[in-house]
Structure 1
Amino acid sequence: MLNLERLRTLDALARLGTVGGAAESLHVTTSAVSQQLAKLEREVGQQLLAKNGRGVRLTDAGQLLADHAARILSQVELAQSDIEAQRGEVVGEVRLGAFPTAARGLFPATLGALHRDHPELKVRTTELEPEVGIRKVLRGDIDLAVVLDWSNKRLPVPGGLAMTGLLDDAPDIAMPAGHPLADRTQVDLEDFADDDWISWPEGEFCHDWLMFTLRSKGVEPRIAHLAGEHHTQLALIAAGVGVCVAPRLGRGVVPDGVRLVPVRQQMRRHVHAVWRADADRRPSIRAAVAALRAAGREFDAPLDGGDVARP
């Protein structure tokens, strides 16, 4: 009889490519991963791994078993979802992740509603950038991630995930109060071609979006400062050292000396929830999505349309 936890270990190695990556996703040591895989090789009586430089690769037999392991684990998830759906109770544990402004803007109301309406459900949360959140949902480290993309730059969503829109976030341009455009009722991004920009850190989805958007308008942005927290970005603007895009979700109190002006183009940041499609029937997932949607309705920007499942 094949051991399910050892199949889970093989699946993690096949998806992530390294023993270290598999260990991190399973929250165990690399030694524990190696021991599980060695036991699995003895169970099946075939070599599943071969050395590949300093790492390892799957043999043909290893890849064959890894393909079966992925299907078996998916069926286990489906079975758990069906059992929970039949019971119809929102109990157990649900793990949520969200990018920082969504965590600040949506999680307090979401957690309050879940605690009030489903007291037997334990909710755990963490802050994650969108790409990391998607990877952790795929790996099973969390159950649901709140992610984002923009009207002109979509976030790739791999197969096997379901997605629904929570809200549309309409950002503003934040600038020092003494900026020549501070008294405008609307602005265009290209109006700031000669300004220094304050951006999210390099490699983050929103930083890539800002560079892509400005360059598409013929502007080569001068990125003067990088800051992951919007509060830090706004504090720098209050000091008069640049401008930034300031989404409304989770923005909080705006410092004195900062002016916010809407963008003339209908620029929107779309906020979504994603989860594994094979967990779609879990009452805890459905309850979490419903609570997130309700929290999203507290914001002025219009909500997205109905559910979308990306293949």
Structure 2
Amino acid sequence: MDTRRLRFLLELSRLGSMRAVADVLRTSTSTVSQQISLLAQELGTDLVSPVGRGVRLTPAGTRLAEHAAAILAAVHRAQLDLDPTAAPAGTVRVAGFSTAIRRAVLPVVRELAETHPRVSLEIHQHEPAEALAKLSADQVDVAITYDYDLAPMPRQPEWATLHLWSTPWSLGVPEHTLDPRALATAAPLAAYRDSAWIGNSRNRADEDALRIVASVAGFPLQITHAADSLDLVEDLILAGMGVGLLPSDRPHRPGVALLPLRAPGVNLRTFLQLREGRDSWPALALVRDRIAAHTATINSAQQTPVLG
């Protein structure tokens, strides 16, 4: 199959008419029709069918068009891999959880717009398992994931993994339930053993970490609610519906108190992951390095004491 012909099919699926495709690709309508016909002959199946004066994609054409964008992007990246000295250019696809996108990716987008305008980012919000599935399927180039030191994510040899930062987490509880006497005990979590607990609706690692903490404290955990938004976790806590994990360094709303987790502590670890060897593509290497440099600056600033 001549992959160059996929561009004609992809644009037809987007634009709906061969005339529009011809205008975009700066060619003739007959050339568009010929290239799609040749592609159909190569595959041995009809890709378009006539409708009035125009055409529409057949089911087979629709399925192929869905794959075309990924195929053409992969071919483009492969061509760039053959020339690692080329100036960075192209679209790097990044999947990650919302906090990481805001903290590490969006600042890089703004920076690249000024320093490397030929490099752009395509951003997808996903929890770690979802992001890694897309990385495995070559639907993204970078996955920014997290796990907890108490519940580490299995490492796959095909991923190149870079640690970005770690964040201690606490148990968020309604402020009016926080008993100072409980904080002085060896197992302050035991005061919440009968509470409803809030897990993550899209990532099992949160629940695993909570169950380990509860087990060490000596009680079984009952996960009642599930949310994938920290704001919603706070809403549930404020409504008196339960308790749940919150990052210790995140400003929280009045009425929510953070109970430090010790012995064991809970630390969320953030990673940047990509396919081993793919950083030979200059655009991808640039994005990786800029994300790493940006997070290193933030980490250094947070560790520097404020004098005065």
TM range (shorter): 0.5 to 0.7
Q: Which moved more, 1:198-207 or 1:124-133?
A: 198-207
Alignment partner of 1:173 is 2:177: no
Instruction: Quote the offset at 1:90 in angstroms.
Output: 2.0
SS of the counterpart of 1:102?
A: helix
For residue 157 of structure 1, give the secondary structure of its aligned residue in structure 2: coil
Q: Pick 1 or 2: higher relative contact order, CA cutoff 8 A, min separation 6.
A: 1
> Where does residue 153 of structure 1 map in the other structure?
151
Q: Name the counterpart of 2:16.
A: none
Change in Cα spacing, 1:228 to 1:163, as seen in structure 2 (3 Å) is: same
CA spacing shift, 1:185–1:234, aligned 2, 3 Å: farther
**1:186/1:261 contact within 8 Å kept:** no
Q: Distance in 1 between matches of 2:43 and 2:136?
A: 25
Match of 2:259 in 1: 261
Rounded to whole Å, the distance in 1 between the matches of 2:212 and 2:237 is: 22
| Structure 2 residue ranges without an equivalent (≥5) | 5-38, 45-73, 304-308
Query: Which entry has the higher C-alpha Rg, 1 or 2?
Result: 2
8 A Cα contact 1:78 1:279, kept in partner: no
1:219 aligned onto 2:219: yes
Q: Secondary structure at the match of 1:280?
A: helix
- CA drift of 1:3 comes to 5.6
Equivalence for 1:129: 127
Using the alignment, how far apart are the partners of 1:235 and 1:207 within structure 2?
A: 19
Q: Following the alignment from structure 1 to structure 2, what is the Cα–Cα distance between the partners of residues 186 and 130?
A: 35
Q: In proportion to residue count, which structure has more helix?
A: 2
Query: CA, structure 1 residues 262+185, in 2 after alignment: closer, same or farther (shift >3 Å)?
Result: farther
Paired amino acid for 1:105: R
Q: For residue 143 of structure 1, what is the aligned residue in structure 2?
A: 141
In structure 1, list runs of 5 or more residues that go unmatched.
Answer: 6-34, 41-73, 303-311
1:205 paired with 2:205, answer yes
Go from structure 1 to structure 2 and tell me whether the alpha carbon gap of 1:188 and 1:102 turns closer, same or farther (over 3 Å shift).
farther
- AA aligned to 1:119 is P
Counterpart Cα distance in 1 of 2:225 and 2:134? 29
Whether the aligned pair in 2 keeps the contact of 1:150 and 1:270 (CA below 8 Å) is: yes
2:282 equivalent in structure 1: 283
State the one-letter code of the partner of 1:234: E
Q: Give, as a single letter, the amino acid of the residue that structure 2 aligns with 1:169.
A: T
Give the equivalent residue in structure 2 for 1:193.
193
How many percent identity over aligned positions? 20
CA-based RMSD = 3.4
Distance between the aligned counterparts of 1:285 and 1:205, measured in 2? Answer: 28
Q: Is the 8 A contact 2:170 2:260 kept in 1?
A: yes
Could you list the structure 1 runs, at least 4 aligned residues long, displaced by more than 6 angstroms after superposition.
none
